[in-house]
Amino acid sequence: MLIAIPDLIDAAGVAAIRALIDGAEWVDGNVTSGPQSALAKHNLQLPEDAPAARQAGQMVLDALGRSPLFIAAALPLKIFPPLFNSYAGGQAFGVHVDNAVRIQAGTGFRVRSDLSMTVFLEEPDVYDGGELTIETNFGVQSVKLPAGHAVLYPSSSLHRVEPVTRGRRVASFFWLQSMIRDDAARQILFDLDRSVQELGGTLGQEHGEVIRLTGVYHNLLRRWAES
């Protein structure tokens, strides 16, 4: 499941995040890499424990909590604290698969990475390259979105960031553990939820069939959810 989430963060929010992170001290992006990723990853990143990263990360988390589309698509159980990276001068991240489990440094907090998310924090016309390229069952998908927009995709998918040949690509990235481990089941619930909402808007939330389908949704969620 690959879902674009438009306008996750508005222009003022993007500006506030950039004001926090642009002046911070960036380090080699391999501080959070696994052995495989370290061979392919060439970028800069804010340290996880940097005050700017924590403040900006909380702003991203707040935006996620306000997004019905994100909640419906991800059904999040746990979210790894958002991180921030930067690509410029030909930097790229070659083909890789995200680690199955992410552990927050210095804590016991861990997340099974069911889904990965990128929140773009730079307008696409000010840099060349930098597309997030994801291999799906329907072919290769190339994603380069406006600032404040985000994309959600399975952490198990092969993906890469193309070289940035002009300007600078800045983004937030993180992983989350869904209440629904299976991607196909999560897609079914997402499609059903969208249909229920569409019918509710047309027929009214009190219509018998809307209530019936809402019950089906919650019974499936009850059957499949992990807590």
18 appears as a binding residue in the annotation = no
- Report the distance separating Cα 152 and Cα 175, nearest Å: 9
CATH fold, domain 3-178, is Jelly Rolls (2.60.120)
Q: What is the DSSP string of 87-99?
A: EETT-EEEEE---
Judged by DSSP in three states, 222 sits in helix
pLDDT tens digits, 169-214? 999 999 999 999 999 999 999 999 999 999 999 999 999 999 999 9
- Report the distance separating Cα 148 and Cα 123, nearest Å: 9
Q: Which CATH number fits domain 183-224: 1.10.287, 1.10.10, 1.10.150, 4.10.860?
A: 4.10.860
Burial of 93 (0-12, 13-18, 19+ CB in 10 A): buried
Domains of the chain by residue range: 3-178, 183-224
CB 194 within 8 A of CB 92: no
pLDDT at 114 (0 to 100): 97
Note if the pTM is more than 0.75: yes
42 appears as a binding residue in the annotation = no
pLDDT at 1 (0 to 100): 83
159 appears as a binding residue in the annotation = yes
